[in-house]
Structure 1
Amino acid sequence: MDRSQSEQDGHQKQKQDHHFMEIPELDDDPFTEEDLQAIEAAFEAATSSLPKKRSSSPEDDGPDHKTQQRRQSQSARRRLPNSVLALQHPNAFLLSPCRQANARMKYPVMMFGGVIKYSRTAVEVEKAALEILKNFQAKKKAVGQNAIGFDIEWKPTFKRGVPPGKAAVMQICGGTSCCYVMHIVHSGIPRSLQLLLEDSSILKVGVGIANDCLKVFKDYNVSTKAVEDLSYLAKRKVVEGLQNWGLASLTEKLICKELLKPNKIRLGNWEAKFLSKDQLQYAATDAFASWYLYEVLLSLPDAEKDTARNQSEELRAVSL
C-alpha cells in the first residue's frame, strides 16, 4: 500500500471514529479498588439485617455453581448503578431534557402546504375574487361550508406621528388546497372583491378581525359583513380560554402547532412591488390557520354547557 492510500485510510478511520464517538463513553471502572471495596462493605452492612431468601444448594445446581456465583458477585461489585455513573459525567445534567422548555420546541410548525394564488393587478384580483365566490358556493352546496379565513397585512411605521400604511395585502383561505393572497395596495378593491366582503352569507373568521375590517373600511370605504372573532369563540369553547387569544397562542392551545411570526416578515414592507416567497407563505398560512382553527372550535362543545353538565353530574353523585 502506497503512502497516499495509507493517509486516505487513516483519514477515513478518523472520520468514522468521530462519527461513532460524538458522546464520550464512561469508563467501566471510574473508582479505585479501595473505593470499590469500601462501597461494597457499606452495601453489605446496610443489607445484612434484611431477611435472605433460601437459595438452592450447590449440589442441586451442579459443580459450576460456586464459580458462577463468584463471577456474578465480581460483576455486581465492579459495575456500579447507572445513577452513580451518571454523576461522573461532566455534562450529566445537559444530557437530561427539560420537559417544560422542550414541550413547545417539539411542536411542529404550522404551514400552509397547498397552492398560493397571488394577484396584484385589478384584473387579477377581480378574477381571484370571482373564483373564491364560485368555489364557496359550490362547497356550501356540497358540505355546508360557510366560512373562510380572513386576514390583512400593512406596512408598519416606526416614527411617532406617522400613520401606518394602508391595508396592503388581503388573504383569504377556505380549505387545505388553495389560499388567495391579493396585493390590494396596487389593485384596490374591485367590484367582485367588494361583493365578497359585503356578502352576509359568507362568514369571515380570524383573530382581531373587527379591527382588520375597520381598517379596510377606513382605507377603501368598503364594509365587511358577517365576521366572527376566533378569540371570542375560543372563550366559549375552551375552559381555560378566559383571555384574549392571539392567533399563534390559539394555534398552540388547540392543535399543538407553532405558528411562526418572524419580525422581519411580519413588520416588513408589504407595499413592495412584488411580495417575496416568504411573505406569500406567511400571509397564506395566517389565513389558513384562521380557517382551520374555526373548524376545530366549531367541533367543540361550549365550555359553559360542558362545565354545567359536569357540575350537575357531580351533585347527582353526591346526593346518591
Structure 2
Amino acid sequence: MTRSPTSQKPKLRIILCAPRGFCAGVVRAIDVVERALQIYGPPVYVRHEIVHNKYVVESLKAKGAVFIEELSEAPAGSAPVIFSAHGVAKSVPEEALARRLFTIDATCPLVTKVHREAQVHFKRGRKIILIGHAGHPEVIGTMGQLPAGAIVLVSTIEEVAALTFEDESNLAYVTQTTLSVDDTRGIVDSLVRRFPKIIVPALEDICYATTNRQEAIKRAAPSVEAVIVVGSPNSSNSQRLAEVAQRAGCKISRLLPSASEIDWQMFGAIGSLAITAGASAPEILVEQVIDAFAERYDIAVETLTTTDETVFFPLPRALREKAALG
C-alpha cells in the first residue's frame, strides 16, 4: 500500500473498516483447494465458484483448479472434486458416489449448521421456512437437503404475509447465512407475529462475519461522503454491505470488484470515504483501491475496528490426515 506525499492533491480521509474481507469459512475453502492441489496435483475440479470472488477464482485457476457447474463436467478418475463453501444439495454427493468420484466438501461449517437444523426440524415433523434469496447457491443447497416441499422460501415481509399452512403450530425457520441483519430481523419479527409458536434457531444463523462487517460499516457510513465495498456482484454478503451503508446514511455506496471499476466522476470530488470488503474479497483488492485513491488524493487512512475475529475452521479430516501422512 502506498501513501502519497503532501502535495497539491486534495485531501481525502479514508476510514478502513475492520473486520473486513476474508472470513474463516472462506479461508478454509481456499485452503481446501490449495491443499488438494499440493497433495494430489492438478487438475482439481471445483463445483461452482469456491467463493464468490473473481480474483480468487482466477488465482486458483492459475494453480490448476478447474471450475465446473455440474458434476457431469468432471471426468471419471481419481482427480478430486471439491464442493464450494456455499454447500450443495444432497443429490450432488449422491451423484458423485454413484459415479465413484473422489470428493472433498469445503462447505462452510456455519452453512452445515443450518443444514443440520433443517434436518432436525424435518425429522420432528415440522414445516420449515427458509429466509433467503431465491437462486443463491447456499439457498439451493439448503433446500436440497430435504424432499421437495419440505422447505418454503421467503425473501420479504410481504411473502411472509402470504404464507398459509394447515398446521400453524408446528413450524420452524432457518436463514441463509449472508443476509442483511436488519432485513432479516424484520422478516423474523413478521414470522413470529404471524406464527407465535414457530421454533426459532437456538443460535443466530446469519454468520458472525456477515454480522461483524455490517456493524462496522453501519458505524462508518454516517460520517463519510462515500462508501466502497470491495467484492464481487454475485457475492450476497458484499451486496448487503453496500445496502447497509446506504441505509445507514451514506448516499454514495458502491460495490466494486476491483480498483479498475472506480467511477472517478462519482468519487473524484469527495473529502471522506469508508472502505470495507465482503467476506470473499482478498485484502490485496482493498490495497489496490487505496492505492488508486492515493494517486489522486493526499490520503489519511484511519481504521475503525468494531470487534476482533478469532474464529478458525480446520480443514476437512481427509485433507488433514493426508497432509500428516505426507
Shorter-chain TM-score range: under 0.3
- What's the TM-score once normalised by structure 1's chain length? 0.23
Higher helix share: 1
More RCO (CA 8 Å, sep 6+): 2
Higher strand share: 2
* Greater C-alpha Rg: 1
